[in-house]
Structure 1
Amino acid sequence: MSTETTAFHHVIRLAHPADIPAIRAMQERSIWEIGGAFYKSNEIANLLALCGTMDDAVVGEGHYLVAEDRHGAILGSGGWSRSRPGYADATAADDAAPGVAIVRSVFVDPAATRCGIASAIMSRTERDALEHGVDTLQLTATLSGVALYEALGYRTEAAMELTFADQSRFKCVRMQKSLAKTQNRSAA
Structure 2
Amino acid sequence: MHVRATTRDDLTAVDALLARSYPKLLKSDYPPSVLVTALPLISRAQPALLTSGTYYLVETDGRRLLGAGGWSRDRQMHQRGHIRHVVTDFTATRRGVGRRLLRHVLAEAQAAGIRDMECWSTFTAEPFYRAMGFETLGPIDVPLQPGITFPAIRMKQRLL
Q: Shared fold by TM > 0.5?
A: yes
Q: Deviations over 1:103-127 (max 9, x none)?
A: 1011000110000100110000111
- Highest CA radius of gyration, 1 or 2? 1
The one-letter code matched in structure 1 to 2:5 is L
Structure 2 residue corresponding to 1:38, chosen from 21, 29, 52: 29
Please, which runs of 5 or more residues in structure 2 have no aligned partner? Answer: none
Q: In 2, distance between residues paired with 1:103 and 1:124?
A: 12
Q: Deviations over 1:63-82 (max 9, x none)?
A: 11101123222110011112
- Total equivalences in the alignment: 160
Runs of 4+ in 1 over 4 A off after TM superposition: 51-54, 163-166
The one-letter code matched in structure 2 to 1:161 is D
Structure 2 residue corresponding to 1:15, chosen from 6, 24, 27: 6
CA contact (8 A) 2:70 2:86 kept: yes
Task: State whether structure 2 residue 104 is matched by structure 1 residue 113.
Answer: no
Equivalent residue, structure 2, for 1:88: none
The one-letter code matched in structure 2 to 1:40 is P
Identity across aligned pairs (percent)? 24
- The alignment partner of 1:110 has SS state of coil
Q: In 1, distance between residues paired with 2:55 and 2:35?
A: 23
Structure 2 residue corresponding to 1:56, chosen from 24, 47, 59: 47
CA contact (8 A) 1:53 1:105 kept: no
CA root-mean-square deviation: 1.8
TM-score if structure 1 supplies the norm length? 0.78
Q: Deviations over 1:86-119 (max 9, x none)?
A: xxxxxxxxx5512001110110001100001001
Q: Which has the higher strand share?
A: 2
Equivalent residue, structure 2, for 1:76: 67
**How far 1:164 moved relative to its partner?**
4.9
Equivalent residue, structure 1, for 2:135: 155
The one-letter code matched in structure 2 to 1:155 is E
**After the TM superposition, which of the residue ranges 26-35 and 166-175 deviates more from structure 2?**
166-175
TM-score if structure 2 supplies the norm length? 0.90
Provide closer, same or farther for how the CA distance between residues 111 and 51 of structure 1 changes in structure 2, counting only shifts above 3 A: closer
Provide closer, same or farther for how the CA distance between residues 121 and 51 of structure 1 changes in structure 2, counting only shifts above 3 A: closer
The one-letter code matched in structure 2 to 1:70 is D
CA contact (8 A) 2:67 2:97 kept: yes
The one-letter code matched in structure 1 to 2:92 is A
**After the TM superposition, which of the residue ranges 51-60 and 123-132 deviates more from structure 2?**
51-60
The one-letter code matched in structure 2 to 1:76 is G
